[in-house]
Structure 1
Amino acid sequence: MSSTKQFLVTLAIIGIVLPSVALATEYKVGDNAGWTNNFDYTNWAKGKDFRVGDKLVFTYPVGVHNVFKVNGTTFKDCTIPPLDEALTSGNDVITLAIPGNKWYFCGVGQHCAVGGQKLAITVLPAGLEAPAPAPNAANGVVASGFLALIAVILSFAI
């Protein structure tokens, strides 16, 4: 295969893979409120589509809160794991690497049990599109144009 064809094939592959990587989202848990107690994290998570590759960022004052990654039973009961399992930086970033249900809570005092400082989410596989609202004509044009570009690049490469 000539170097031009190899370049075009490589470019086409990058064009196919790059959009899924670029679409990863970083979520600041609690938005402007950050990671704190007496906040409705169930409502905060509602309507968000968490996917593999996305990141959760827990921001809070160091020493005031922490973050535990737990299982469903531990989450429900607010059973605090060993302290050495806590994330404590005040700016904890968790990359969502595996699809499925994920649970997090604060293990300081009664922040989980009484303060409601807990978050449960479902992580979808990367590239799996959640149900979308009615299509927008402009979005269809952009997607069609992108696919046409990939088809042209591949036709030159073959």
Structure 2
Amino acid sequence: MAQGRGSVVALGLALLCLLIHSEVAEAATYVVGGNSGWTFNVASWPRGKSFRAGDVLVFNYNPSVHNVVAVSAAGYNSCSAPRGSRVYTSGKDRITLARGTNYFICSFAGHCQSGMKIAVTAA
């Protein structure tokens, strides 16, 4: 009988691993701005796309002239990065989306105002 319980536990663990793997496998990866990358006038890039929590955004850019800053709605609307905002500077940033609206701007002077910002809503 002990062998039967062990088989049930092993089966349960295998199913759990499968569920965890399927969650990861469902996540999509999106390159922000497509072939142009993270640049000016990308604010409309998310339109027509369906994002889910756990999807990954890849921001490709030249780090000597751009960055990516995760901001609140207020920071997005005012094109400002409040103190404590997460700033990415690698030029190949991978950011996992949280459920709800995720806001990103470039904080270099004038860049956000020139459309270098996106708002991405993940279900």
TM exceeds 0.5?
Answer: yes
Q: Match of 1:67?
A: 68
Q: Distance in 2 between matches of 1:118 and 1:103?
A: 8
Q: Match of 1:17?
A: 20
Residue 107 of structure 2 corresponds to residue 104 of structure 1:
no
**Larger strand proportion of the pair:** 2
Q: Distance in 2 between matches of 1:4 and 1:84?
A: 49
After TM superposition, give the deviation of residue 61 of structure 1 in Å.
0.8
Distance 1:91-1:104 versus aligned 2 partners, 3 A rule = same
**Larger helix proportion of the pair:** 1
- Per-residue CA shift, 1:33-65, capped at 9, x if unaligned? 11011x3332x2122222222111111012110
Q: When the two structures are aligned, how many residues end up with a matched partner? A: 120
Contact 2:70/2:85 (CA < 8 Å) preserved in 1? no
Residue 34 of structure 2 corresponds to residue 31 of structure 1:
yes
TM-score (norm 1): 0.67
Q: Distance in 2 between matches of 1:91 and 1:61?
A: 9
After TM superposition, give the deviation of residue 9 of structure 1 in Å.
2.2
Which amino acid in structure 2 is aligned with residue 22 of structure 1?
Answer: A
What percent of counterpart residues are identical? 37
Q: Match of 1:7?
A: 10
Distance 1:84-1:5 versus aligned 2 partners, 3 A rule = closer
Residue 123 of structure 2 corresponds to residue 121 of structure 1:
no
Distance 1:84-1:10 versus aligned 2 partners, 3 A rule = closer
Structure possessing the higher radius of gyration over alpha carbons: 1
After superposition, where does 1:76-87 map in structure 2 within 5 Å?
76-81=77-82, 85-87=86-88
SS in 2 for 1:15: helix
* 103-112 or 73-82, which deviates more: 73-82
TM-score (norm 2): 0.83
Contact 1:68/1:81 (CA < 8 Å) preserved in 2? no
After TM superposition, give the deviation of residue 88 of structure 1 in Å.
1.2
Q: Distance in 2 between matches of 1:85 and 1:21?
A: 24
